[in-house]
Structure 1
Amino acid sequence: MLDNNNSTSKSNLPLYISIGLLLFFGACYFLIPSVKEFLDEAWSVLTSDDEERIQKWVANFGWFGPFVLILAMVAQLFLLVVPSLLLMVVSVLAYGPIWGSVIIVTSVFAASTVGYFIGSYFGDTIVTRIIGKKAEEKVASFLDNYGFWAVIVTRFNPFLSNDAISFVGGVLSMGYWRFMGATIVGILPLTGFIAVFGKNIEDLKMGLLWGSIVSVLVFGIYVWWDKRKNKNEKSNS
């Protein structure tokens, strides 16, 4: 059940920090030409849906490139036009299967943490504005019913709403380490798959499609079994 009073029961410090950062970066954007140029270029590249272009752009940063990818993954929580799967693939293309995988897991951990604490501190009202009321209600119901396993399935399946479940996990006050544990368990198989097939985009797309279908079917069978078990328990009581 959503806790509409969640944001008011916590310290306002995160809100003040967030407003301060927004004002700071907004001022930098409008007052410092080099910052404006960089952010405009970053927006153009990351929303291009072009793996090769993004890979070349990230490579120009050298050792700082992984931090750019991590920041981009956090930013895509709010810039829904930048798919997280694309950033994962670019990580492998730019840094290889091992270091690319490390960057993916770190990025997902960072983005999930930010989304979780936004939901936890700012509550239902802010999350609704970010992801929409219908999406929040669906994810909240899913998370309420299946908790840990809902997070795992969502992380493993790249076509489900990864960002929404981070926000809603915070709103519902799901234990942070339990939430992050499920996130890591779910993202590791997907990361391994991308690491193996990331350099062949067609094989990757087909594999992700079939993997997603299988994961949804398996979870669907579990949901059906769970509902049938609960119905039988009610009828026998």
Structure 2
Amino acid sequence: MVAHSFLPFPAEIVALANGMVYGPLWGAVITWCGAMLGAATAFGLTRRLGYPFVERLLSPDARDQLARWSHLHGATVLLACRLMPAIAFNLINYAAALAGLSWWTFLWTTALGILPLTILLAVLGDRILAVPFLGWLAISLVAAVFGGLMVLRRARKPGSKA
């Protein structure tokens, strides 16, 4: 899971595999611990190496405004982002570090926010082999239809390259 913070590999696959191998409880615990370690590593490195870039990019007034906003709304926004699986996990780590969120805020919102999906994926991984062939066929068909509709929708938008 730590490597996931630096490599373009879907963590959901690792979480499913952990559920398959270790069961729902230990699969969730292992996935959660690994995700927390990876998130903290990415947050720390981004804050250390990336914040000087933000200092050059933003004026002192803009940095002060960002710091005030992060202090007032950062926990709520970060927790909401963590609860939305469509927002990239690593992008949230980097953005939180560059926005100047405190370590404590980052850690508690990440710990709480990733828990529901972590548990869901570990349970799903544990049960994945119990789904009969027709169930997988139905899931695949729904995914193919949904994916096809998304491609068609994008192709119809003006200026799209799909």
Question: In 2, Cα distance between the equivalents of 1:78 and 1:196?
Answer: 26
2:106 is equivalent to residue 179 of structure 1: yes
Alpha carbons 1:77, 1:115 under 8 Å: kept: yes
> Structure 1 residues 197 and 79, CA, compared in 2 at 3 Å: closer, same or farther?
same
Match of 2:2 in 1: 74
Conserved? CA contact 1:98–1:195, under 8 Å: yes
Q: How much has 1:83 moved relative to structure 2?
A: 0.5
Partner of 2:11: 84
Percent of pairs identical after alignment? 26
Q: Residues 192, 159 of structure 1: CA spacing in aligned structure 2 closer, same or farther, 3 A cutoff?
A: same
Q: TM-score by structure 1 length? A: 0.44
Whether the aligned pair in 1 keeps the contact of 2:16 and 2:124 (CA below 8 Å) is: no
Q: Is the counterpart of residue 165 in structure 1 residue 92 in structure 2? A: yes
Residues 117 and 167, structure 1, Cα contact 8 Å, conserved in 2: no
The C-alpha deviation readout for 1:142-177, integer Å capped at 9, x for no partner, is x95842122223323332111011122122221111
SS at match of 1:76: helix
Alignment equivalent of 2:119, drawn from 181, 192, 215:
192
* Cα distance in 1 between the residues matched to 2:23 and 2:73: 35
Q: Tell me the distance in 2 between the aligned counterparts of 1:147 and 1:93.
A: 35
- Within the candidate set 17, 21, 41, 1:94 is matched to 21
Gap runs ≥5 in structure 1: 1-72, 128-139, 210-237
Contact 1:105 1:188 in 2 (8 A): yes
1:110 equivalent among 37, 60, 81:
37
Tell me the CA shift for residue 104 of structure 1.
1.1
The alpha carbon displacement at 1:77 in A equals 1.7
Instruction: Give ranges in structure 2 of 5+ residues lacking alignment.
Output: 55-65, 144-162
The CA distance in 2 between the partners of 1:87 and 1:175, in whole Å, is 28
Aligned length: 118
Q: How many angstroms apart in 2 are the aligned matches of 1:110 and 1:126?
A: 24
- Tell me, yes or no, if the aligned pair for 2:19 and 2:123 is still in contact at 8 Å: no
**TM-score normalised by the chain length of structure 2:** 0.62
State the alpha-carbon separation in 2 of the partners of residues 126 and 86 from structure 1.
33
Q: 1:150 aligns with which of 60, 77, 80?
A: 77
What secondary structure, in the 3-state scheme, does the structure 2 residue paired with 1:118 have?
Answer: helix
Q: Secondary structure at the match of 1:160?
A: coil
Q: Which has the higher contact order (CA 8 A, sep 6+)?
A: 2
> Given residue 163 of structure 1, which amino acid in structure 2 is its aligned partner?
N
Over the residues paired in the alignment, what is the CA RMSD in angstroms?
A: 2.9
Q: Report matched runs for 1:27-66 at 5 Å.
A: none
